[in-house]
Amino acid sequence: MNKLSIRDLELKGQRVFVRVDFNVPTSGGKVGDDTRVRETLPTLRLAAERGARLVLASHLGRPKGKVDPKYSLAPVAARLQELLGGKTVAFAADCIGPEAEAKSKALRDGEVLLLENVRYHPEEEANDAEFSRKLAALCDGLFVCDAFGSAHRAHASVVGITKFVRQAAAGLLMEKELAYLGKAISHPDRPFVSVLGGAKVSDKIEVVQNLMKLADAMLIGGAMAYTFLKSQGLPIGTSLVENDKLDLARDLLAEAERRKFRLLLPVDHVLAGSIDSTVTRTTDIAQTPEGWMGLDIGPKTIEQFSREISAARTIVWNGPLGMFEKPAFAQGTLAIARAVAAASGKGATSIVGGGDSVAAVEQSGLACQISHISTGGGASLEFLAGEKLPGVEALTNRS
């Protein structure tokens, strides 16, 4: 892969358009979890130290092509200013047009301008050429993409803009994400154990298929496990299931068997009468009582999964193993977080992606023990599914 790095660019005195992923939760003019903003700081600091004039662009939420104050990046500008140690971060209330042009031209070396949400314009998601050209006009022919979390989107500020600049390069966060995930799928230290959870099989079919070829084992928990279990004729009570995916789940399990691939499903679980009930019971899957819903993996499964994780040299984890937002059903996910952290402590490379599993790792206080926490949920899933990310392709092999 032939890609420029921000380190290769002559930045001094140049306006550089940096696509970041500042898609963070905001409310009442304040930023909630600012992880994504903090993760871009190395790129922004490097560029500022080298005398770049930084024009930053991002999306936030889904304003559906219209101005919607709920999705304004203004609170992020304030937060970024704090994170940059008080360095002024200018803000333009539209990502194109006279204000953005004037403010980008007024930048001096090392200064930062954040543009308003690119998704206020429908042309962003349409990857419109004219809109891309207008964005590119805000810089001096230099584009840096540090938005790994948006790299699976062929949008104007991620892909279209690259046609209108002289040089397009990856930022440091983008490089770090690609290095960790790339090594895992190309030459992982083995055993390579993948852990998948979350709500739906349908979101992760391609990931299951691809990782079955690459990993040494796969541990499946969360609601998605029930479609696999039901496809084997096991009782699942009222647990979440995708009945239209039963054939597919059966085929995937048959494929795993044919390949002699270690695909482990839960053997026991924690159940409740409904998601709002805290009256729980724990049974083997085969003993699932009628009218009860599986909401977390049980102690035998935790033990079995933890043993696999403990022997791993590479671990990729995406998706919680139960409804971890409720303390009564968080134990499985937290135990897996501890197992992954412990394996990392013994030298394994651990990669956690997907908003919910990242939140669980942070909640457990173990985030600092994980080798790499991916900022891109959807992008990391597509990468693990073996798909090419348009935002990365746009930086690769440019003539």
12 noted as active-site residue: no
The neighbouring-strand residues paired with 19 are 57, 145
Measured from the CB of residue 278, what is the shortest distance to ligand AMP in angstroms? 15
Residue nearer to ligand AMP on the CB measure, 93 or 359: 359
Q: Which is catalytic among the residues 110, 378, 386, 398?
A: 378
**Whole-angstrom distance, CA of residue 308 vs CA of residue 265:** 12
36 noted as active-site residue: yes
Site residues (vs ligand AMP, CB under 6 A): 197-200, 203, 222-223, 240, 294-295, 319-320, 322-323, 325, 354, 356
Q: Are 125 and 158 in contact (CB under 8 A)?
A: no
Measured from the CB of residue 380, what is the shortest distance to ligand AMP in angstroms? 12
Residue nearer to ligand AMP on the CB measure, 333 or 349: 333
Measured from the CB of residue 270, what is the shortest distance to ligand AMP in angstroms? 9
Measured from the CB of residue 203, what is the shortest distance to ligand AMP in angstroms? 5
Residue nearer to ligand AMP on the CB measure, 138 or 270: 270
Burial of 244 (0-12, 13-18, 19+ CB in 10 A): exposed
Measured from the CB of residue 275, what is the shortest distance to ligand AMP in angstroms? 7
Please report which helix (H) or strand (E) contains residue 283, including its range: strand 280-284
66 noted as active-site residue: no
Residue nearer to ligand AMP on the CB measure, 51 or 61: 61
Q: Name, in order, each residue with C-beta under 8 angstroms of 347's C-beta and a sequence gap of 6 or more.
A: 313
Q: Which of 40, 50, 250 lies closest to 149 in space, CA to CA?
A: 40
Q: Which is catalytic among the residues 36, 50, 134, 338?
A: 36
Q: Are 36 and 375 in contact (CB under 8 A)?
A: yes
Residue nearer to ligand AMP on the CB measure, 320 or 376: 320
Q: Which is catalytic among the residues 200, 300, 313, 398?
A: 200
Q: Which is catalytic among the residues 65, 110, 355, 386?
A: 355
**Cα separation values, 28 from 57, 69, 175, 390, Å:** 21, 11, 33, 34
**Whole-angstrom distance, CA of residue 205 vs CA of residue 242:** 12
φ and ψ at 141, to 5 degrees?
80, 15
378 noted as active-site residue: yes
Q: Which residue is nearest to ligand AMP (CB)?
A: 198
Q: Which of 353, 386, 361, 358 lies closest to 149 in space, CA to CA?
A: 353
Q: Are 143 and 167 in contact (CB under 8 A)?
A: yes
Active site amino acids: 36, 200, 355, 378
